[in-house]
A and B are shown apart, each in its own frame.
Chain A
């Protein structure tokens, strides 16, 4: 399994041709208290960079983009009851959705953990 990051602060954990997507600890810290998350439904087709989910803090709504193209297999139902999971465990139980990759070569443009860390430090 390997984990990749986008410059929009999503992470994607890839295992074969399936992947889990969420937002990074940096992103949740910037957003503040998360009060609502809208996740995509299973079977939804998403293209790389498409709006795939919405995360709402007390203050504002923000889009979450699909890091790669694919078909959503599952949205994280736990976020409906407990959106604060995004704050408490953003890179674990606070994941947003899972998908089947349609073009694994798209992963090549993403950052690895060290690259993302350097990117955040540069902000």
Chain B
């Protein structure tokens, strides 16, 4: 990935105009921060943050039985997904290791899939090789992707004159968490879902690249909305307890070790028939040998990715994500520990620069999520 020349995204000039500090990420030049990670993090928790996530891969899967074909390589119940509904899922290697995590939406016409930017080309090659030729896989390279996240996201989005198409969506309040709808903003087609990766209520908006600057401007004209960089996106998702592919998940980890058993649908557990089913179903039944857990950290010193975890003298795990949690005002982390040490409240130590730091296995999310689910106001 780092061998690729750094590409520019459609909003590149827009970010620079807004004072963003740009860094290379996933082969692209991306905004890491504008005014500062702490301020941007807090703004998103209290108002609404606009994130450019156009580096992520947007794919369409078309053809009869596309959902059934996809179910060989993901453990979710994709054929049961109704139009306008989406699901978090995992792309599985033949041995059940996780190749990527992804959001899969039934658009009514096709499956719309969002994958991580750093591995999108690998994902596409793998999916193409695994899916029958009758299934068409389209990489929507001319689409940009924005995420509007935070408790005031719906309020801000409602002020743009966006009309729902086909599925009868009249405004943001018609969508609940993990719903999606095709829309029109004037003449511009948008794919809007009520989702994101910050733990907050919010939306992801797929927009043709040629219109993304106008849409970003229209959103940032709303008093609730500010542009937010990748730095705060990372601290927000860590507080939300959400794993980051390439850090907290990789091809050596199966979904049960990754603490993502919710992504293995009930029907699929009974039927199997997906890559690594034998390993994964056995781990479901017997428990995994190691498991992704969250940690609170004593003191103020952050414990970061790569720090070994000890129980007394025994090294029993490793930190995979860690940093300072702005909302909590203290460091937090996640990582893998041997199964015997995964219970909530287990007291362990991480080693940072030769020093032992007490850490405690803790419940995730670290900050309660703000998703707008049906039945909740």
- The digit string for B20-51, where 1 denotes a CB below 8 A from any CB of A, is 00000000000011001110010000000000
Bound complex: CA A48 to CA B301 (Å): 26
Question: Residue A32 contacts which of B37, B300, B304 (CB distance < 8 angstroms)?
Answer: B37
B324 within 8 A of A: yes
Chain A residue numbers with a CB within 8 Å of B41 are 58
B83 within 8 A of A: no
Question: Residue B37 contacts which of A38, A59, A61, A80 (CB distance < 8 angstroms)?
Answer: A59
A72 within 8 A of B: no
B272 within 8 A of A: no
Chain A residue numbers with a CB within 8 Å of B324 are 35-36, 56, 58
Cross-chain contact B302 with A36 (CB below 8 angstroms): yes
- The digit string for A20-44, where 1 denotes a CB below 8 A from any CB of B, is 0000000000001101101000000
B323 within 8 A of A: yes
Cross-chain contact A59 with B301 (CB below 8 angstroms): no
Q: How many residues of B contact A (CB 8 A)?
A: 18
Main DSSP-derived SS at the B contact region: mixed
A90 within 8 A of B: no
Cross-chain contact A33 with B302 (CB below 8 angstroms): no
B231 within 8 A of A: yes
- B301 to A, closest residue via Cβ: A36
Tell me the chain A residues, 35-78 only, with Cβ under 8 Å from chain B. 35-36, 38, 54, 56-61
Chain B residue numbers with a CB within 8 Å of A36 are 300-302, 324, 331
Chain B residue numbers with a CB within 8 Å of A80 are 300
B358 within 8 A of A: no
Chain A residue numbers with a CB within 8 Å of B36 are 32-33
Question: Residue A35 contacts which of B234, B302, B353 (CB distance < 8 angstroms)?
Answer: B302
B116 within 8 A of A: no
Assuming A32-B33, A32-B36, A33-B38, is B235 touching A58 (CB within 8 A)?
yes
Tell me the chain B residues, 286-334 only, with Cβ under 8 Å from chain A. 300-302, 304, 323-324, 326, 331
A94 within 8 A of B: no
Chain A residue numbers with a CB within 8 Å of B33 are 32
Q: How far is the CB of B334 from chain A (nearest CB, A)?
A: 16
Chain B residue numbers with a CB within 8 Å of A32 are 33, 36-37, 231
Chain B residue numbers with a CB within 8 Å of A38 are 301, 353
- A81 to B, closest residue via Cβ: B300
Q: How far is the CB of A83 from chain B (nearest CB, A)?
A: 7
- B353 to A, closest residue via Cβ: A54
Cross-chain contact B300 with A58 (CB below 8 angstroms): no
- A83 to B, closest residue via Cβ: B300
Cross-chain contact A56 with B37 (CB below 8 angstroms): no
Bound complex: CA A87 to CA B300 (Å): 17
Cross-chain contact B301 with A56 (CB below 8 angstroms): yes
- A84 to B, closest residue via Cβ: B38
Bound complex: CA A115 to CA B234 (Å): 37
Q: How far is the CB of B232 from chain A (nearest CB, A)?
A: 8
**Could you name 25 residue pairs across A and B whose Cβ atoms are closer than 8 Å?**
A32-B231, A35-B302, A35-B324, A35-B331, A36-B300, A36-B302, A36-B324, A38-B301, A38-B353, A54-B353, A56-B301, A56-B302, A57-B37, A58-B37, A58-B38, A58-B41, A58-B235, A59-B32, A59-B37, A59-B234, A59-B323, A60-B304, A61-B302, A80-B300, A83-B300
The 8 closest A-B pairs by CB, nearest first: A35-B324, A33-B38, A58-B37, A36-B300, A36-B301, A58-B324, A56-B302, A33-B36
A sample of 11 more A-B contacts (CB under 8 A), given A35-B300, A36-B300, A54-B353, is A32-B33, A32-B231, A35-B302, A36-B324, A38-B301, A38-B353, A56-B302, A58-B38, A58-B231, A58-B235, A58-B324
